[in-house]
Chains A and B, each alone.
Chain A
Amino acid sequence: DAGVIQSPRHEVTEMGQEVTLRCKPISGHDYLFWYRQTMMRGLELLIYFNNNVPIDDSGMPEDRFSAKMPNASFSTLKIQPSEPRDSAVYFCASSFGGRDVGELFFGEGSRLTVL
């Protein structure tokens, strides 16, 4: 398996622009997680899905952030409008449920810079 695939790997945009990050989880995994990593705040869970249904979005910073999972093989994280404080590395991760739910497989991340 190719692992969790994220795109783009790097994104540089200007404040106010819309940003869409994409994720393809590992086939057969039923959990999908979006994390944000910064030096100041470390690793933060933004939202996670189980069987394509959002379960907990309490980590989503504000209404500018939205995430969707239209099917088992694709998810998006959208920021509109973007702000400089959104600059971070965004990770997508997937896992099996049950006892394996804590064994996350991470993508390589999308590094976002908002100017």
Chain B
Amino acid sequence: AQSVTQLDSQVPVFEEAPVELRCNYSSSVSVYLFWYVQYPNQGLQLLLKYLSGSTLVESINGFEAEFNKSQTSFHLRKPSVHISDTAEYFCAALGTGYGKLTFGQGTILTVHP
């Protein structure tokens, strides 16, 4: 089984500032890792994923996440946020050989002008 812990429930930042949303996981098997984003009144959307290979993965809108096996982390970062990045972000893990994702509790990112 897997578990996912998002260390911050809310992260307020100012526009154009950098941001890091923290995610730790635990698993008895190898995992695939994901970040999903949920905008108000919408379903979740895949932001980026780590399956294998390069430990640094990027999204099309400037977010990146780094898989750190030794620290069992998959933190999400963006060097300069926009107002439109305001949303809730979910980290998720999928154990290889399993069919269901395990989601963290979510982090609400609020970008202030």
Interface residues of A (CB under 8 A from B): 4, 31, 33, 42-43, 45, 48, 50, 55-56, 91, 93, 97, 99, 101-109
Contacts and interface: CB of A to CB of B under 8 A. Distances in A.
A93 B36 CA distance: 13
Interface residues of B, number: 20
Contacts of A103: 34, 46, 49
Contact of A101 (B36, B42, B94): B94
Given A42-B106, A99-B51, A102-B94, A48 B100 contact: yes
By CB atoms of chain B within 10 A, which of A50, A55, A99 has the most?
A99
A104 B106 CA distance: 16
Contacts of A99: 32, 51
A102 B32 contact: yes
B99 A104 contact: no
A102 B92 contact: yes
Contacts of B42: 108-109
A46 B87 CA distance: 24
A56 B100 contact: yes
Interface string B44-64: 111001010000000000000
Nearest to A31: B99
B43 A91 contact: yes
B25 interface: no
Contacts of A102: 32, 34, 49, 92, 94, 101
A10 B106 CA distance: 23
